[in-house]
Amino acid sequence: MPRLHVNVDHVATLRQARREGFPDPLAFALECEQAGARGITCHLRLDRRHIQDEDVARLRAGIATLLNLECSLAEEILAIACGSGADAFCLVPESRQEVTTEGGLDVAGERARLAEAVPRLTEAGGLVSLFVDPDPHQLDAAREVGAPFVELHTGAYALARGAAREREFERLARAVEHARSIGLRVNAGHGLDEENVGPVASLEGIEELNIGFAIVAQSLFHGVGGAVERMLARIG
Ligand code: PXP
């Protein structure tokens, strides 16, 4: 069964909507940990639309589980990541217009920059993963640039319905198998919710699921602990 890591970005989205001091992503993270989350994830975007630099430092100092920092390849962000003390780094693509991370990294296209960033982040003390679509070419390229982990993008699976979802699920299943066969460790996330998480959680070989939006949204109705517990129950 994969571990649940909760992404707290959208607690900060709510706070930034009013430029208030609350709700606090750290307070939310601590309640998630109490309810059984095994790690906390946040994404320090270049545009700082949700998580701020001080959130990363406060999360690092305050949580008891693992901190996974999502970051782009922008130098400003990489420099902060290297000094953050995070336990893990997930490299993601980022564009200013997107509502959320839209697709996986083009690892082959970014090979040169990734071949520098991966050892740099590893030296800073974190396990590095690359956020990629469930595509064997991206997985092969991830292996070549030396990343120990990939995080498989589950967004297409989450958005698909009916037979299309079945196809996307098969793609994920094949990607997990391929990644493991070439020595990559595998996490997954994006768009997962209480309704669609079960099949992904049951795939043998996925170590960690990163789930944010659905848990933050469900916490409005069930409380933070309730939302985490409901998700854990569906993970199995
Ligand atoms: N994994 C990565 C790499 C992401 O960028 C995000 C979104 O920030 C997530 C997981 C979580 O996605 P969601 O908020 O849809 O659960």
Q: What is the pLDDT of residue 179?
A: 98
| Phi/psi of residue 202, nearest 5 degrees | -85, -5
For the CA of 70, the nearest atom of ligand 1: 3
Decide: helix, strand or coil at residue 70.
strand
70 is annotated as an active-site residue: yes
CA of 146 to the centre of ligand 1 (A): 23
CA of 12 to the centre of ligand 1 (A): 14
Task: Summarize pLDDT for 57-100 with one digit per residue, the tens.
Answer: 999 999 999 999 999 999 999 999 999 999 999 999 997 677 76
The residue whose two tokens read 């571990």 is 3
Query: Which residues, including other chains, have CB under 8 Å from residue 51's CB and lie 6 or more apart?
Result: 8, 9, 12, 25, 42, 43, 44, 45
Decide: helix, strand or coil at residue 13.
helix
190 is annotated as an active-site residue: yes
163: which 2 tokens? 């037979």
Dist CA 56 CA 90 (whole Å): 14
Task: Summarize pLDDT for 174-210 with one digit per residue, the tens.
Answer: 999 999 999 999 999 999 999 999 999 999 999 999 9
Rg of the chain's alpha carbons, rounded to an integer?
A: 17
52: which 2 tokens? 């701020």
Task: Summarize pLDDT for 7-65 with one digit per residue, the tens.
Answer: 999 999 999 999 999 999 999 999 999 999 999 999 999 999 999 999 999 999 999 99
Q: What is the pLDDT of residue 101?
A: 65
Q: Which of 10, 31, 33, 43 is catalytic?
A: 43
Task: Summarize pLDDT for 129-151 with one digit per residue, the tens.
Answer: 999 999 999 999 999 999 999 99
Q: What is the pLDDT of residue 103?
A: 84
The protein residue whose alpha carbon is closest to atom 11 in ligand 1 is 190
Task: Indicate the pTM of the whole model.
Answer: 0.97
Q: Which domains does the chain have, with CATH numbers?
A: 3-235 (3.20.20.70)
Dist CA 168 CA 165 (whole Å): 5
Q: What is the pLDDT of residue 102?
A: 73
CA of 148 to the centre of ligand 1 (A): 19
Q: CA 99 → CA 47, 73, 91, 102, distances in Å?
A: 12, 18, 17, 8
Dist CA 93 CA 74 (whole Å): 10
The DSSP bridge partners found for residue 71 are 91
